[in-house]
Amino acid sequence: MRINKVVGIDIGTYRIKVSYVVKGHLKKFFYENVPDNSVKNGLIVYWDAMAEFLRDTLKAHGIKCRNAIFSIPTNGTYIRTVELPRMNIQQLELNLPFEFHDYISESTDKYFYDYAVIESDEKSMKLLAVACSKETINHYRTMAKNAKLKPVGLVPDVIGLQRILEKYNQLFKVPQDKDYALLDMGDQSFKIHFFRHGTYDVSRSLEPGGRSFAEKIADIQSADIHIARLAEEDNLGNIQSHPELIQQYESRAVEIMRALNFYSYSNTSNTIDTLYYYGGGSNVKKLVKMISETLNLPVKPISYLYAIKDDELRTDFIISPQSYGVTIDPDEKFTELTDTELQHIAKHIDEYEQSKAEELLEDNEKAVETVQTEASDESTSEKEEVESLPVSDVPEISTIGEDEKKDIPAEEKPEDILVSLGSSDEDELVTLGEDDSTNRAIEELTRQFESGYGKK
């Protein structure tokens, strides 16, 4: 059952992102920087402070809706695909904890387990299983209540992404065996999430994340890291073309290429034909450009998978698609778009993305011109200063040997430098995304959130 009004909340290491959804449609999206050190490695450290910050943020943006679904990072849960002999629910509940024995060092009683059937036959079944600590569940439940919210869902971020893919596949008549690769350009780390036949398969983490670029800029400019972030996102002074940044971008692009190649080598029959990217790092256009030039497949923003003509919302969608994805009702079936509708949407998105690319090119050219003008002015100023010195004050010009010349970097011109969990209503909290073979979700977690304890 779909909730008429709900906010999807994604709390990251750097920002909190909120999607306000009414009757399944994204009506508003916004984000705010979280207090320093309140979130580490994607996990909330100070829950009471975050509850207060969340309450104030929603109030500041005029959000009165109290229904909330939270997106939680993959490092806050365990998700895996398992194959088991066919069994009933009672047998499965007894056996499922053992499937996480190699991953969970604590007592299995401290975790809540849920699953969705991917496929099954008379002898076996394939499941998408998830384990989440009861302590984490209670933390989110308490934080939501302290923020004056009604928690109606707690969904792994990759399941939110999976729901977006399911909706896209239905609308655009995509074959069910389609595979996807989504690049999360996060602050703490970059992650590539792989989806096999539309169902979450595995993630590959690449560290460090976007923060490392901001830290490098802070070192270069001797600036505060917050100022450095803004400088990078807006490409002030063409900072994205700085040699030290270029080196980091190159290295990350190669790591992404290797991760994709390894997955393809391990899954030779995969149908991945595009890398879709999202997250805060998507604002670093130079990095995106270098990734695109390094890979042997197209690189596109995840907004291509969001079928609306509202350019502003689709652009916002790139920052945190999971905050919207977790609000999608997995039981809802979407009507295929007509050929005419498909053509109109595809044409609109292509034209918009092309205009953005042209605008970016113009901005880069202006940035280069600004840097060159500043360099020219500085050179002229220095020349005038030297010419005004008395002869006795003019420094001697030393000769440089051939061995020393190789240690001096060549002059570089900026323009030459290239290189989750089931159906959810207002009384349900944690549900697990399902494919077409099942629409089952365990309702036990609702009682977990409302009562504050887990089943034994």
Burial 170-190 (b: 16+ CB within 10 A, else e): bbbeeeeebbbbbbbbbbbbb
State the greatest distance between any 2 C-alpha atoms of the chain, in Å, as a whole number: 97
Whether cis (ω within 30° of 0) applies to the bond prior to 208 is yes
Residue 127 backbone phi and psi in degrees, to 5: -125, 150
CA distance 88 to 212: 49
Quick one: pLDDT at residue 27? 93
Q: Quick one: tokens of 194?
A: 């792989």
Q: Rounded to whole angstroms, what are the CA distances from 186 to 14, 253, 313, 345, 363?
A: 9, 14, 20, 28, 24
Give the per-residue pLDDT at 432: 38
The predicted pLDDT at position 369 comes to 57
- Residue 366's identity, in one-letter code, is K
CA atoms of 432 and 173, how far apart (whole Å): 23
Q: What is the pLDDT of residue 372?
A: 53
Q: Report the b/e string of 258-292 with b at 16+ CB within 10 A.
A: ebbeebbeeeeebebeebbbbbbbbbbbbbbbbbe
- For 236-294, the pLDDT digits (tens) are 999 999 999 999 999 999 999 999 999 999 999 999 999 999 999 999 999 999 999 99
In the chain, which stretches have pLDDT less than 50?
Answer: 371, 386, 388-450, 452-456
Q: What is the CA radius of gyration of the chain?
A: 25
pLDDT of residue 352: 80
- The reported pLDDT for the residue numbered 150 is 96
Query: Model pTM?
Result: 0.78
Query: What topology does CATH give the domain 5-355+419-448?
Result: Nucleotidyltransferase; domain 5 (3.30.420)
pLDDT of residue 310: 79
**pLDDT the model gives residue 102:** 87
Q: Given this model, what pLDDT does residue 392 score?
A: 37
Q: What is the pLDDT at residue 382?
A: 54
29 contacts 20 by C-beta, under 8 angstroms: yes
Distance from C-alpha of 103 to C-alpha of 133, rounded to nearest angstrom: 13
The pLDDT tens digits of the residues spanning 139-166 come to: 999 999 999 999 999 999 999 999 999 9
